[in-house]
């Protein structure tokens, strides 16, 4: 195996904790228009990404690569799975004239950046993570009988800040106290910071008390639907300039968060056009770390252990994203660096 290939396998494995197709095969894409939307055939996806097999079992289609990589499509479904991770599609998987199809938009905006993140165009290196704790001040966000979303979000990003600094990243907080910051102010503040990515942390709530679990959002691509309200918008926002990085970051973070959050329901990697994701000029995601309106989730969210695990998962996911895209990694702090600050005279004597 060439060093190049070894590196590629390593970066893929780091992203999804699996071995993905080593490289893509030049192929003729079979493009089929269905209801005015361009689709590609399952056959050409199999060929291009060099899946070893593609098996059909009733409405399900299994793409396999070795023993570690399994992608599952279900005809009629608006989500797919790549190993354990569930992804919302912009258009459902369909069957048309005997062939299974996925939209070209999902190929470009989901499959490609997730299956081969090192091919994402114009990736910019980053050394800073902007942490956005949802809500604050008079805006409590969702509430349970135990506490408020704004406080849990702030506590989680404070823990995340410590984790990230240990990994060598610089951290900037949109709010570091219980204060109100408007959505456009958040975006404006973030957009002034260079060489950075943006991570917003929230906790969910909904009218259905049974709804539970963790979901991670990336900005919906132009022309794709939003999982938040089902709307389709053809407008491209500035956040869409980073579509490839957005979905790769969401994937890497969601994978590590789910790995560390035992017992939580996996709601998958989703799409929405939230204000903080739309106007941002850097890779950005929004993590919903559990439902305040669900008794079991609310109990977990209230525990320090859970929030610490959530923070750790997000930090590891950020590092995996960094590694998978091939951008340089910061130098993790050594133990000596983590000791309490030295007296000024000791520091200057170095
Ligand atoms: Zn919220």
Kindly report, residue by residue over 27-85, the tens digit of the pLDDT.
678 899 999 999 999 999 999 999 999 999 999 999 999 888 999 999 999 999 999 89
| Tokens coding 73 | 């499509």
Instruction: State how far the Cα of 139 lies from the Cα of 181, in Å rounded to an integer.
Output: 9
Cα separation, 256 vs 309, in Å, equals: 10
Domains plus CATH for the chain? 3-119 (3.30.457.10), 128-325 (3.40.630.40)
User: How confident is the model over 115-125, as a mean pLDDT?
Assistant: 91
Which distant-in-sequence residues (6+ apart) come within 8 Å of 337 by Cβ? none
pLDDT of residue 239: 96
Ligand 1 center to 264 CA (angstroms)? 18
Element (H, E) at 226: none
Whole-number Å distance, alpha carbon 214 to ligand 1 midpoint, is: 13
> From ligand 1's centre to the CA of 206, what distance in Å?
11
Taking the centre of ligand 1 as the mean of its atom positions, its distance from the CA of residue 149, in whole angstroms, is 7
98-109 residue pLDDT tens? 999 999 999 999
pTM recorded for the entire structure: 0.89
What is the number of helices (H) and of strands (E) in the chain?
11, 15
- Residue 331 CA, ligand 1 centroid: distance in Å: 33
Q: Is the pLDDT of residue 25 over 60?
A: no
> If we measure between CA atoms, which residue out of 174, 36, 29, 187 comes closest to residue 108?
29
Helix (H, G, I), strand (E, B) or coil at 97: coil
Length of the chain: 350
Distance from Cα 19 to the centre of ligand 1, integer Å: 35
């Amino acid at each position: 195996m060439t060093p190049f290939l070894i590196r590629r396998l390593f970066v893929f494995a780091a992203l999804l904790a699996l071995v993905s197709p080593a490289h893509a095969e030049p192929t003729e894409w079979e493009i089929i228009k269905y209801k005015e939307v361009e689709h590609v055939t399952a056959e050409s996806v199999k060929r291009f990404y060099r899946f070893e097999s593609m098996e059909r079992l009733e409405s399900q289609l299994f793409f396999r690569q070795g023993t570690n990589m399994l992608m599952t499509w279900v005809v009629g479904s608006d989500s797919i799975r790549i190993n354990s991770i569930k992804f919302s599609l912009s258009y459902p998987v369909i069957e048309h004239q005997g062939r299974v199809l996925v939209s070209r938009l999902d190929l470009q905006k989901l499959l490609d950046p997730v299956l081969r993140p090192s091919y994402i165009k114009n990736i910019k290196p980053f050394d800073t993570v902007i942490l956005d704790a949802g809500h604050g001040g008079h805006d409590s966000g969702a509430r349970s009988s135990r506490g408020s979303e704004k406080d849990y979000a702030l506590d989680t990003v404070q823990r995340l800040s410590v984790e990230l600094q240990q990994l060598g990243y610089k951290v900037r907080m949109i709010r570091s106290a219980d204060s109100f910051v408007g959505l456009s102010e958040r975006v404006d503040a973030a957009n002034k910071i260079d060489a950075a990515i943006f991570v917003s942390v929230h906790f969910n709530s909904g009218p259905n008390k049974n709804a539970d679990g963790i979901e991670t959002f990336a900005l919906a691509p132009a022309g794709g639907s939003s999982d938040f309200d089902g709307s389709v918008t053809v407008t491209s926002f500035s956040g869409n300039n980073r579509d490839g990085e957005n979905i790769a970051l969401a994937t890497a973070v969601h994978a590590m968060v789910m790995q560390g959050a035992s017992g939580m329901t996996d709601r998958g990697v989703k799409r929405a056009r939230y204000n903080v994701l739309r106007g941002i000029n850097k890779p950005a995601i929004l993590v919903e770390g559990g439902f305040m309106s669900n008794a079991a989730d609310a109990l977990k969210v209230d525990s320090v252990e859970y929030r610490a695990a959530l923070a750790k998962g997000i930090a590891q996911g950020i590092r995996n994203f960094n590694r998978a895209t091939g951008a340089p990694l910061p130098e993790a702090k050594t133990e000596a660096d983590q000791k309490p600050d030295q007296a000024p005279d000791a520091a200057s004597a170095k």
